[in-house]
Amino acid sequence: VEQVEAKFAELAEVERKAKRVVETAGESVHLIHAYLNFARQCYRISQMFSGTTQLNEVYYRYQTWANRGLDEDILTDIAELCGIDITAY
């Protein structure tokens, strides 16, 4: 139970920081949920994989959201919140 609470607290912190990144960048309010979805995906991947696999999985999600029209710089900043450097791809 304590481990689950700790993981939820980590995820909530990632979401809070991601929302701040999006708001600071001046993105439209109706796009916040999409950026938060990407942040959740990055967090989940960071907990499941490491190394090249982690980078590949996040980069795939990054490309998906960028193709849907989200700002690539903001997506990069959000990935970095989870310790993933997209620019290394």
Question: What is the residue range of 81's domain?
Answer: 2-88
Say what the pTM is: 0.92
Number of domains the chain is built from = 1
For residue 41, the one-letter residue type is Q
Question: Quick one: pLDDT at residue 89?
Answer: 82
Residue 56: how many other CB atoms lie within 10 Å: 12
pLDDT at 37: 98
Please, are residues 27 and 75 in contact by the beta-carbon 8 Å criterion? Answer: no
Return the structure tokens found at 37. Answer: 């979805």
Selection from 17, 43, 44, 22 nearest residue 33 by Cα:
22
pLDDT reported for residue 88: 86
For the stretch 15-73, pLDDT in tens is 999 999 999 999 999 999 999 999 999 999 999 999 999 999 999 999 999 999 999 99
Instruction: Please give the Cα distance from 18 to 38 (Å, whole number).
Output: 9
Report the C-alpha gap between 70 and 59 in whole angstroms.
14
What is the average pLDDT across 8-19? 95
